[in-house]
Amino acid sequence: MHASYQGATTRGATRFSVMTDIVPADVERAVKALIAAERTNLGIEVSIPVIYADGQLTSIVVEVEDGAFLVHDAGEAAMRLSSLGIPLKRVDHVAEIVARFRCNFINGRVTSRADSISGIGVVASLVANASRSVADLAHEVRRQTETEFRSVVSDRLREAIGSRVRENQEFKGRSGRRYRIPALILDRTQAHPTHFVSALATRQTVPLSVSMFFDLRGAHPNVENDAIYDDSSDFRDEDRALLASISTVIGLMEVPLKFRAMVGV
């Protein structure tokens, strides 16, 4: 590559200059460098320059089946959802999504067919994009799961301590950053917060809660931090230990009893 970047800082902003002697062949080589094929026990596996959310290139498998070329993702998209604790039965529009790319979802695999060698390139690209789109459903499902769990937590808190519960209130941390707290508990006069409460549906939200609580503790040292997590989810001992370093960790099933005792109801 002949392109190079040089950063220059002006008034806090960074500018980049690009050499202009780049030619089409340079770009073509750079993109082709991402593509590699090898024979595996599944068939011919080829990397495609379509990238999952974690930065990994998609890999597509090509097999010969019934006189045509079967192209599929070896179940990678489904495995990515499963690894996050998301069963496919929770995602009812996978087939609709892959159909947009002229693909099918069969036996947990995004799949399509090419009738000739020359057609494999387009079909492989379609399968790669369909697989990435299915894997991206994890973010949608996670948002839905988190929203549903926050609602459940708020309901449990209200059942336990009544009108002293508030939702989605904004508070500033020591850094100056503002946080929208999933739930908080007010004192008996309902004038000041006594507890900041986070609702964690999955373990992926642990680092965000720890960071938020640490920042809030610096600005509100007299307010307790409480992390309520889904007992039935994928939390590990190390997740609870990390949360415990900055908050009181409470399983959803424990909420009524513990909060009644904590706030003296």
**pLDDT the model gives residue 139:** 79
Q: Collect all residues with Cβ–Cβ distance below 8 Å to 209 and sequence separation of at least 6.
A: 198, 200, 227, 243, 247
3-state secondary structure at position 109:
strand
pLDDT at 145 over 90: no
How would you class 11 by CB atoms within 10 Å of its CB: exposed for 0-12, middle for 13-18, buried for 19 or more? exposed
**pLDDT the model gives residue 242:** 97
Contact 138, 80 (CB under 8 A): yes
Q: Collect all residues with Cβ–Cβ distance below 8 Å to 100 and sequence separation of at least 6.
A: 130, 133
Q: What is the pLDDT of residues 163-216, one digit of tens each?
A: 999 999 999 999 999 999 999 999 999 999 999 999 999 888 899 999 999 999
Distance separating alpha carbons of residues 191 and 187, to the nearest angstrom: 6
pLDDT at 227 over 50: yes
Whole-Å CA distances, 136 to 86, 127, 130, 245, 253: 12, 14, 10, 32, 31
Q: At what angle do helices 120-161 and 255-263 cross, to 10 degrees?
A: 50
Whole-Å CA distances, 254 to 202, 257, 259: 17, 6, 8
Distance separating alpha carbons of residues 27 and 145, to the nearest angstrom: 42
What is the residue-wise DSSP string for 170-206? EEE-TTS-EEEEEEEEE-TTSSSEEEEEEEESSGGGH
Q: Which of 191, 61, 160 is nearest to 114 (CA)?
A: 61
Mean pLDDT, residues 117-139: 93
Q: In degrees, to the nearest 5, what angle opens at C-alpha 221 toward C-alphas 217 and 226?
A: 60
Average per-residue pLDDT for the chain: 88
Distance separating alpha carbons of residues 21 and 230, to the nearest angstrom: 56
Q: What is the pLDDT of residues 34-80, one digit of tens each?
A: 999 999 999 999 999 999 988 999 999 999 988 899 999 999 999 98
Q: Which two tokens stand for residue 235?
A: 């939390």
**pLDDT the model gives residue 93:** 81
Contact 56, 101 (CB under 8 A): no
Q: Measured on CA atoms in the order 244, 195, 205, 154, is the torsion positive or negative? A: positive
Whole-Å CA distances, 81 to 74, 94, 135, 168, 203: 14, 11, 6, 29, 14
pLDDT at 142 over 90: no
Strands 193-200, 224-229: pairing kind = parallel
Distance separating alpha carbons of residues 45 and 60, to the nearest angstrom: 6
237 — phi, psi (to 5°)? -60, -40
